[in-house]
Amino acid sequence: MQAWIDSVNWTEIGTKALTVALQLIAILIIFFIIRAVGRSFISKSFSKMSDQRNISHGRVKTLERLSLNIFSYVLLFILITIIVGIFEYDVTALIAGAGIVGLAIGFGAQGLVSDVVTGFFILLERQIEVDEYITVAGIDGVVEEVGLRTTVIRGFDGTVHFIPNREIGSLSNHSRSNMRALVDISISYEDNIDQAIAVLQKACDEAALEDDVIKEGPHVIGVQNFGDSDVVIRVIAQTANMEQWAVERKLRKAMKEALDANNIEIPYPHQVNLTKESSAG
Touching a copy of itself, residues 33-72 (CB under 8 A) = none
Rule CB under 8 A: is residue 205 a binding residue for a copy of itself?
no
Question: Please, what is the Cα angle at 108 between 102 and 114, to 5 degrees?
Answer: 110
Nearer to a copy of itself, 60 or 247 (CB): 247
Under 8 Å between Cβ of 256 and 266: yes
DSSP 240: S
Segment near a copy of itself (CB under 8 A); pick from 42-50, 55-63, 100-108, 203-211: 100-108
Q: Which of 121, 131, 155, 126 is nearest to 141 (CA)?
A: 155
Q: How do beta strands 160-164 and 171-173 pair?
A: unpaired
- Least CB distance to a copy of itself at residue 43 (A): 20
Rule CB under 8 A: is residue 209 a binding residue for a copy of itself?
no
At residue 243, what are phi and psi to the nearest 5 degrees? -100, 5
Q: Determine which residue in the list 95, 130, 198, 261 makes contact with a copy of itself, applying CB under 8 A.
A: 95
Nearer to a copy of itself, 30 or 36 (CB): 30
Segment near a copy of itself (CB under 8 A); pick from 42-50, 52-60, 61-69, 108-116: 108-116
Element holding 98 (H helix, E strand):
helix 91-124
C-alpha neighbours within 13 Å on the C-beta side of residue 242 = 10
User: How many chain residues touch a copy of itself (CB under 8 A)?
Assistant: 127
Q: Determine which residue in the list 148, 231, 235, 258 makes contact with a copy of itself, applying CB under 8 A.
A: 231
Nearer to a copy of itself, 36 or 160 (CB): 160
- Least CB distance to a copy of itself at residue 89 (A): 5
Segment near a copy of itself (CB under 8 A); pick from 38-46, 47-55, 57-65, 153-161: 153-161
Task: Please count the other Cβ atoms lying within 10 Å of the Cβ belonging to residue 118.
Answer: 20
Under 8 Å between Cβ of 230 and 187: yes
Rule CB under 8 A: is residue 32 a binding residue for a copy of itself?
no
Nearer to a copy of itself, 44 or 249 (CB): 249
Distance, in Å, from the CA atom of 27 to the CA atom of 72, rounded to the nearest integer, reads: 15
- Least CB distance to a copy of itself at residue 68 (A): 18
Q: Which residues, numbered 156-175, are part of the site for a copy of itself (CB under 8 A)? A: 156-164, 167, 169-174
DSSP 229: S
Transcribe 172-210 into DSSP letters: EES-SS-EEEEEEEEE-TTS-HHHHHHHHHHHHHHHHHH
